[in-house]
Amino acid sequence: MTTEELIKSFRTTGALLDGHFLLTSGRHSDKYFEKFALLSEPDVVKRMCASMADYFKNEDVDIVVGAATGGIILAYEVGKNLDTRGIFSERIEEQMTFRRGFSLEKDQRVLLVDDVVTTGGSIFELIELVKSMGAVIVGIAVMFDRTDGEVNFAIPTHSLYAEVIDSWEPEDCPQCKQGIPLTHRGRTGK
């Protein structure tokens, strides 16, 4: 999927919103990426995940891992494109973990997938979880990077779309200072 096609999908699905939003990271932003507006479109997901998989097709990926909730769809579809399994982790009591019978084996080659990067917190948690099991991370594929690559995971990373979108700690948020009501969109509970 080209960047132009992805941007067109943002517009046609209403995925990129303007307002005053509380992000999963706890930060505030004047833009919000409603990933499920895209993830509910099978053709868009199919093309996005094919692009993510294509970028890492020569890395001998054994398994694809995402984090609930958006990462469930991405892990499954990218895994399908790489002819392997896609599994997901969940945050339980603020700790990223595998449940539902999912696990990794020592030296298994893992591709991490994520929907949106703001601070990189979820990916850093996935990295820690995967490494704690002795698996090897061969890359990270991201749907939308709000930092335009400013977060360094020290692992080869590919984003379908990257743009710096400002976010602030609540005490520094210009919209809070103006008294603009905060919108609580979907959050992962982090």
pLDDT at 190: 44
Who contacts 148 (Cβ-Cβ below 8 Å, separation ≥6)? 162, 163, 164
Phi, psi of 116 (to 5 degrees): -130, 130
* Secondary structure letter of residue 181 according to DSSP: P
Please indicate whether residue 84 or residue 183 has the higher confidence score (pLDDT): 84
CATH of domain 3-177: 3.40.50.2020
pLDDT at 189: 44
**pLDDT per position as a tens digit, 4-37:** 888 788 888 888 888 899 987 788 999 888 888 8
Residues paired with residue 130 on neighbouring β-strands, in sequence order: none
With 80 as the cut, is the pLDDT of residue 187 above it?
no
Ranges of each domain in the chain: 3-177
